[in-house]
Amino acid sequence: MNTNSTKHIQLLDCTLRDGGIVIDFNFGEARMQEIKHTLEVSGVDYIECGYINELKGSPKGRTCFDNELSIKNSLLNSGKQSGVGYVAIIDHNTFTLDNLHIADNTGIDGIRYAFHKEDMRKALKEAQKIISKGYDLYIQPMVSVRYNDEEFKEMINVCNSELSEAKAFYIVDSFGQMDNSLLLHQLEIADLYVNGTMTIGFHGHNNRQLVYSNALAMVAQETKHDLLLDSTVMGMGKGAGNLCTELIMTVLNEKGGNYYANGIYNLIDGYIAGLQRSYPWGYNLDYYLSSLYGCTPSYIKLFTRDDRVTTDVLISLLKNMPEGKKVACDKVFAEKYLTEYFNKADKKNDN
């Protein structure tokens, strides 16, 4: 979609994947097809079909799949629409990339490969296998704010030299920590250093009610690279949720886009809004606090199951959590950490 003479801005909808987290990916076959068809008709440029996870995935009925063939056989068996790219995401160390089959035009077109800073070198080496199997590669460095400028440039240089055929390089605001200035600062670095053949993407979360504002700032920024924005219908997604597909479509249409939101509205009215009442997502204080202290929101649900966890207690837990444990949720650690917290509090009260 042309928005000006220097760049294209495209839209990747993650409802089936990021939205699926809300309901443990249990859309069921009929709803999966309904969402896929609605997105195809809406004109989105890419549809993220789901996760690929060999231990937690399923062959059908869920959008966390055991392998890429299950996506082909249970979701894409209804066909693929010309002009739409179909992708899936793999978190580093959750799927053996050697087991990927060679890409063909009836399956997914690309794979988004996500990794944490600690795994960057290993993940980028592994990602070469995705390209060698014939898939478009989308590089997803989770919690991009954890990289200082020099580390960010170093990672980009590695991607340019070792993964020069990659389709896109992403800025990923995993915990919704970024404001406009921080996003545009990383975008400026990426625009300066990322291989010119790659698109620059942005995946944001709404912990601080800033994801829409950040998307607007990115759209308005002059860049040499084409841009790719991630979104979900009604912002459906883990914790505080995501950029709303229906909102950003309107903005991009004002800049010459050709997206059709009526089907999205009907999907919201007939299905997604009901899900939100049963499985709430979106901004709230707890998810803001997880962003403030740079912690995955997955801990929030674990901690707040305990009635003793007031807001003051939650702040203390998040603030004092070891840095090495904040990025990825460790359930065993969380239980031990919570028990130790209250044991210390009880001893203090006894004294």
How far apart are the C-alpha atoms of 122 and 191, rounded to whole Å? 24
The span from the CA of 219 to the CA of 252, in Å, is 8
Distances (CA, A) of 81 to 13, 34, 41, 43, 44: 15, 14, 9, 10, 11
In this prediction the pTM is: 0.93
Phi/psi zone of residue 61: left (φ > 0), alpha (ψ -120 to 50 degrees), beta? left
pLDDT in tens, 251-292: 999 988 999 999 999 999 999 999 999 999 999 999 999 999
Domain ranges of the chain: 9-278, 285-350
- 67: alpha, beta or left, given left = phi > 0 and alpha = psi -120 to 50? beta
The list of the chain residues with pLDDT below 70 reads: 1-6, 350-351
- Beta strand segments in the chain, E: 9-13, 46-52, 64-65, 85-91, 110-115, 136-141, 168-173, 199-204, 227-231
What angle is formed at CA 37 by the lines to CA 31 and CA 38, rounded to 5 degrees? 90
**CATH code for the structural domain at 9-278:** 3.20.20.70
Q: What's the pLDDT score for residue 188? A: 98
| pLDDT the model gives residue 255 | 87
User: What confidence score (pLDDT) does residue 29 get?
Assistant: 97
pLDDT at residue number 351: 60
pLDDT at 6: 52
Tokens 């296998």 sit on residue: 129
Per-residue pLDDT reduced to its tens digit, 78-103: 999 999 999 999 999 999 999 999 99
pLDDT tens digit sequence for 50-87? 999 999 999 999 999 999 999 999 999 999 999 999 99
